[in-house]
Structure 1
């Protein structure tokens, strides 16, 4: 008889790998930042003063993505990595969410800024719009890259075990704590912020992006665009009002989407599309 068996697809990333993902992510980021906290003079003399443009800052920021790629390659190999990256091409999503990302998020910052007596947009520098465009392009390779980890690995695994609302809340909490060392590091934007509102904001944003992620069937593109808008340098400083507005928006979204946010059924659970094997 002819052989009718088919080659198995790439192995799925199992749930227990989430521990390794979080552990490696924190080890990279906290290890890099820890050098500057424990031995600042020694680190500055050998590696230069830390700043938002320092290679170590990029390394620390990319830790979730690095950890995600390590795990995907570990369990799925090159075929798994290819399938994982195919989630970047999942562009079909809700038109309503597209409008929210393109218009709603800027509106939050503008309203928050006007509430505190600030400008509608970030004032242009003396050199014109060019420097802000350069920063906007640079930001594309910072925060959005994190989504390979948070939404690429952590969100699907957590949604195997808890409802999307709680998966988002867990990721938001971890995401906020992951940033904690930067609040003690001079030379970064975090050093001038208060951690508690930032943590609340992270939890809020992680919950808010969850229905966007699931509506787009595990797309990495939409969460990256969402993240990019949040750090768009054209939007004015609206702290703390932007956080409280987003809390209200998120509460309304959770209530409206409660059928899907409070139940696991239908949530995205695959790290590697079409991956095989045990998920436990």
Structure 2
């Protein structure tokens, strides 16, 4: 039988991880809010960017703590292996395709016609290299070692993939809340109490599931790739319309279910000993 979340052997790790992530991020973003300037301009850019690294800082603390205690790596941790890098271009293409498909389907209905014009203008203003570097650092690289590389394998010790996706997605949505109050962020442009703002928060759940499945296939590099592809494509398309957001969420949910979760059910099978002492297999999906 699966261990309940309250008795998880990693409960203390998860509590410490969440506490550090939220304290570091929210405190830094609070400073950026107090400064009042756009998030992309000095001096607010520094606390804004540093706040994004809250999960990675927490992950580093947990790793040091585990090393000092000589604890084993969690069972569901995906270790980096060179052969797994073959998944990276696949994950980049697949994650980006979920946004493109949702945007074009929305455009075929009641949503706006998708266009790269404003996104390409922004890229040209910043420079392609700086744009790509910031897209990698400010979200995927700053967050994925924490959410997926640290929290996910510990939550999987007592939850199914679906449960982890729901819980981690909800936590992720709450973690983003201060960004709605920092001028110059995508969240601030959407607005907290608007349909687009609400959909942004809800979209954290299918996005979390997508990144978790990517993590299982190629480790943190895989989840960084999926996270980056979605973020970059959303920015380039300037996705803000609720219809487009809703369609992208639906496509991502279908993608996770049909293409990512199903093939790894065999990997999720674990051997347990029943009351009779005979080993039995319990599928954890």
Residue 192 of structure 2 corresponds to residue 192 of structure 1: no
Residue 117 of structure 2, aligned match among 114, 117, 122: 122
**Residues 261 and 221 (structure 1), Cα distance of their counterparts in 2 relative to 1, 3 Å cut:** same
Give, in whole Å, the separation in 1 of the partners of 2:237 and 2:266.
Answer: 36
Partner of 1:204: 206
Shift of 1:50: 5.2
Matches for 1:152-231 after TM superposition, within 5 Å? 152-194=149-191, 195-214=197-216, 216=217, 219-231=219-231
**Which one scores higher on RCO, CA 8 angstroms, separation ≥ 6?**
1
Partner of 1:245: 247
Contact 1:147 1:224 in 2 (8 A): yes
Give, in whole Å, the separation in 2 of the partners of 1:19 and 1:230.
Answer: 28
Residue 55 of structure 2 corresponds to residue 59 of structure 1: no
Shift of 1:264: 9.1
Contact 1:29 1:61 in 2 (8 A): yes
Partner of 2:30: 34
CA RMSD, 1 decimal: 3.7
Shift of 1:211: 2.5
Shift of 1:231: 2.0
Shift of 1:185: 2.6
More helix per residue: 1 or 2? 2
Contact 2:102 2:251 in 1 (8 A): no
Q: Per the alignment, in what secondary structure is the counterpart of residue 235 of structure 1? A: helix
Give, in whole Å, the separation in 1 of the partners of 2:91 and 2:185.
Answer: 31
Shift of 1:244: 1.5
Shift of 1:245: 2.0
Give the structure-2-normalised TM-score.
0.71
Contact 1:165 1:210 in 2 (8 A): no
Which shows bigger deviation, 102-111 or 177-186?
102-111
Give, in whole Å, the separation in 2 of the partners of 1:94 and 1:254.
Answer: 16
Aligned length: 244
Contact 2:155 2:164 in 1 (8 A): yes
Residue 17 of structure 2 corresponds to residue 24 of structure 1: no
Contact 1:113 1:238 in 2 (8 A): no
Give, in whole Å, the separation in 2 of the partners of 1:157 and 1:66.
Answer: 17
Shift of 1:29: 1.1
Contact 1:151 1:223 in 2 (8 A): yes
Shift of 1:261: 8.1
Shift of 1:230: 1.8
Structure 1: gaps spanning 5 or more residues: 1-12, 268-280
Give the structure-1-normalised TM-score.
0.72
Contact 1:212 1:223 in 2 (8 A): yes
**Residues 206 and 261 (structure 1), Cα distance of their counterparts in 2 relative to 1, 3 Å cut:** farther
